[in-house]
Amino acid sequence: MRIDLGGRTALVTGSTQGIGRAIAATLADAGARVAINGRSAATVETVIAELRAATPERDLVAAAGDVTTADGALRVLSATGHVDVLVNNLGIFGAEPALDITGDEWRRYFEVNVLAAVRLIRATLPGMARRGWGRILNIASDSAIVIPAEMIHYGMSKTALLAVSRGFAKEAAGTGVTVNSVLAGPTHTGGIEDFVYQLVDSALPWDEAQREFMRLHRPQSLLQRLIEPEEIANMVAYLASPLASATTGAAVRVDGGYVDSIVP
């Protein structure tokens, strides 16, 4: 099975680190022209240089801007050009007691994790439909289904993203455009290391802290370890490819067996 995205342009939001960076690298390795997005132009240029240093053949373009605002999203889309593959990866998360979450925080999570994706889908889906081909992928989370007690505002936003994905898949019916969600499980990124140390003893070495976190807070995981970003990226690359032409409106799991169900 060969994934070939030659001739396609992909925009991956929040792709200067973590899962987004791994997705961008994997799509570029499959032949796509990939727009690297982050709020800081300097950071975007640094990441592009690092990715090209690792693999000089990668076709990468800088698309700096804050996609949580209308003006920022317009700048990012202008830098990217027409989009064949949209990966809405940008998201925020953090632990907070349920009754301490303020109204402003509820709104911020919805704006960043849901409405930013909606804005970009509305901007790119019509062009994809006219061209008769496109892929829209929203990076959701196991937290969309198994709402964590320590961050229900995050879980709420990812549940909403599943609804957004299914709804826009119906809008795209028959056009050659597919819209799917990827349910990412607990993943090993810089951000998750900070999160883990919010919940376990900060004096523990990382390997012990990770095991303690999985034992206490994610015991449902069948992997019993954090997922690596490249494992998420591999699924995204498949769903972004022509090989996944019959998969749309789906919530595809890369969760390490965390969600205890036979079907999503």
> Catalytic annotation on 154?
yes
What pLDDT is recorded for position 192? 82
DSSP characters over the chain: -----TT-EEEETT-SSHHHHHHHHHHHHTT-EEEE--S-HHHHHHHHHHHHHH-TT-EEEE--S-TTSHHHHHHHHHHH-S-SEEEE---------GGG--HHHHHHHHIIIIIHHHHHHHHHHHHHHHHT-EEEEEEEEGGGTS--TT-HHHHHHHHHHHHHHHHHHHHTTTTTEEEEEEEE-SB-SHHHHHHHHHHS-TTS-HHHHHHHHHHHH-TT-SS-SPBPHHHHHHHHHHHHSGGGTT--S-EEEESTT-S-SS--
Catalytic one of 109, 154, 197, 258: 154
Q: What residue segments make up the domains of the chain, in order of their start?
A: 9-185+228-254, 188-226
Would you say residue 38 has pLDDT above 80? yes
165-190, pLDDT tens digit by residue? Answer: 999 999 999 999 999 999 999 899 87
110-149, pLDDT tens digit by residue? Answer: 999 999 999 999 999 999 999 999 999 999 999 999 999 9
Q: The whole model's pTM is what?
A: 0.94
Would you say residue 66 has pLDDT above 90? yes
| CATH fit for domain 9-185+228-254, picks 3.10.580.10, 3.40.50.720, 3.40.50.2300, 3.90.1300.10 | 3.40.50.720
Would you say residue 195 has pLDDT above 90? no
What confidence category does residue 41 fall into, taking pLDDT thresholds of 50, 70 and 90?
very high
